[in-house]
Amino acid sequence: MELKQEILYVKRTQKDYSLSFKLQVVREVESGELSIKGSLRKYGIQSHATVLGWIRKYGTFDREYQIQQAMIKTPEQRILELEQKVKLLEQQKASLEKAVDIAQEKAIFFNMMVDIAEKEFKIPIRKKSLPGQSTSTRANEKGQ
């Protein structure tokens, strides 16, 4: 009969690693000798999160602050970025001004058409203003 040999997988826990081992891994990662992935391969650590936890717990610097510092742009980059933003905003402003002009021309045209239709057909088309409406609104309607 054949003997089946089973390879048992033993899951490791945080308790399997000594404090000195954890500190050594953290020191190597922080000094730049190894990346986190490199430490996983070199020492057979199972999870990226394990090493990150050690760095947070035993590390000497704040990784989030270091990442933010690396992302800070130089003044020249910031100026170029702002210049591009200004150009985009100027283009948007020009297109919006053009749209406003077109809308105003349409309003004038439609008011003229309503005036012509009222005269031609001798019927009131515009809605009568309510008694509670202010006089400034009525004055604006007559002016257009």
Residue 46 has pLDDT above 60, yes or no: yes
**Of 71, 91, 112, which closes a domain?**
71
**Of 71, 92, 110, which closes a domain?**
71
pLDDT of residue 108: 96
pLDDT of residue 8: 54
Residue 10 domain-assigned (yes or no): no
pLDDT of residue 106: 96
pLDDT of residue 107: 95
Domain that holds residue 111: 75-127
User: Whole-model pTM?
Assistant: 0.37
Residue 16 pLDDT grade (very low, low, confident, very high; cuts 50, 70, 90): confident
Domain count, the chain: 2
- Helices 19-31 & 48-58, crossing angle to 10 degrees? 90
Do 95 and 54 share a domain, yes or no? no
Residue 24 domain-assigned (yes or no): yes
- Percent over 70 (pLDDT), the chain: 73
Question: pLDDT tens digits for 64-112?
Answer: 555 555 567 788 988 999 999 999 999 999 999 999 999 999 999 999 9
pLDDT of residue 127: 79
